[in-house]
Amino acid sequence: MNKTMRITVDGRKIRASPGQTIMDACDDAGVYVPRLCDVEGLVPQGSCRVCTVKADGHTVAACTEPAEPGMKVENDTLEIKNYRRDLVRMLFHEGNHLCPICEASGRCELQAMAYRLRISQATKYPYLQPVRPVDASHPDIALDNNRCILCGRCIRASRDVDGKHVFEYVGRGIHKRIGVNAENLAATNASIDDYAMSLEVCPVGCIIRKREGFFAPIGARQFDREPIGMDVETRQEHHVPKRRPDPAFGNDGTK
């Protein structure tokens, strides 16, 4: 059962272990599959769809689709790139993403993904310009939901790593947003030291750590130094297998 298998990604043969997702196999082999909702250390959920690949002719989310022996994966093709561009554009247009005034600029994964996918022109989509309430009640943390891309990383980090369950999805459809476990964030047991509140978790500028803004000058910000995905693409050299939490959690957060 523990035998490794081979899959092909854009013609390149890579190894995958049984039960591994396409994404994890690619990461271990140093092949980057763009993603926003998935991050190392959390259970993948397949919601942003930016990691869409074609596996044996079917479009699937690489972060949740198990690798199968001999699977042929298309990752870096024009068709897939177009889907990803559309998805990233949708996220930009769904919220209010004004990079020049955003504190997360330069370390924002949405912004970095747009650069990686070469989205630099105004797009054809309409702007939805939501007006969602900002929750600045907590002494150390503010939440600007207008920048949220609903990746749910804070939900999983708080639930599975912090054991707190500060966040959860509420509402549905285009009105879906992230709710907090009380009237507002100050009334929850959220703390600035939670993993959920760390810079690693929120990919955009929705979770704001108060009094820490603009800590890195332009030119020295995370993605100024290295484009998104390069950490994976250079991973082959050190070959550290990817970290994933205990699968006992299940993929829908059942405790």
Partner 1 sequence: MIDILWAVQDKLGCIDGEAMSLIAEKTGTYRVEVEGVVSFYAFFSSVRKGKIVIRLCDDIVDRHAGVFAVAKSFENTLGIKLGETTPDHWFSLEYTPCIGMCDQAPAALVNDVVVTNLTPAKVKGIVRTLKKTRDPRALVTKTGDGNNGHRLIAAMVKNNIRHTGPVLFDKSPAEAGLKQALTLSPGGVLELVVDSRLRGRGGAGFPTGKKWRYAAAAQAALRYVICNADEGEPGTFKDRVLLTERAQLLIEGMTIAAYAVGAAEGILYLRAEYRYLKAYLEHILARRRSRGLLGDNIMGKAGFHFDIRIQMGAGAYICGEESSLISSCEGKRGEPKNRPPFPVQSGYLGLPTVVNNVETFCCVPPLIARGPKWFTSIGTPHSSGTKLLSVSGDCTRPGVYELPFGVSVQDVLDKAGAKDPAAVLIGGASGDMIGRPEFQRRICFEDLPTAGAITTFSSHRNVLEIANYYMDFFIDESCGYCTPCRVGNVFMKQGLEKIMQGLGEAGDLDYLRELGKTIIATSRCGLGHTSPNPILSSMKSFPLVYSALLNAHPNEFQAGFNIQSALDEARVIAKRRSLIYDVSYGDEE
According to CB under 8 A, which one of 3, 13, 124, 211 is a site residue for partner 1? 124
Least distance (Å) between residue 167 CB and partner 1: 7
Least distance (Å) between residue 213 CB and partner 1: 27
For partner 1, what does the binding mask look like between residues 176 and 205, x meaning CB under 8 A? x--xxxxx----------------------
The answer to whether residue 246 forms part of the interface with partner 1 (CB under 8 A) is no
Nearest alpha-carbon partner for 197 in 208, 185, 213, 182: 208
According to CB under 8 A, which one of 1, 122, 174, 240 is a site residue for partner 1? 174
Q: How many CA atoms lie within 13 A of 2 on its CB side?
A: 0
Tokens 């810079």 locate to: 199
The tokens describing 25, both together, are: 């196999």
Least distance (Å) between residue 121 CB and partner 1: 15
Q: How many CA atoms lie within 13 A of 230 on its CB side?
A: 10
According to CB under 8 A, which one of 30, 66, 130, 227 is a site residue for partner 1? 66
Rg (CA), the chain: 18
Report the residue number, 105 or 188, with the smaller CB distance to partner 1: 188
Report the residue number, 180 or 206, with the smaller CB distance to partner 1: 180
The answer to whether residue 45 forms part of the interface with partner 1 (CB under 8 A) is yes
The answer to whether residue 38 forms part of the interface with partner 1 (CB under 8 A) is no
According to CB under 8 A, which one of 4, 15, 169, 226 is a site residue for partner 1? 169
For residue 11, CA distances in Å to 7, 30, 57, 83, 96 come to 9, 14, 14, 20, 39
| Helix 78-94, helix 109-116: angle, nearest 10 | 150
Q: Give the Cβ contact number of residue 212 at 10 Å.
A: 11
* Binding footprint of partner 1 on the chain (CB under 8 A): 45-50, 52, 59, 61, 64, 66, 82-83, 86-87, 90-91, 93-94, 124-126, 128, 149-150, 165-176, 179-183, 250-252, 254
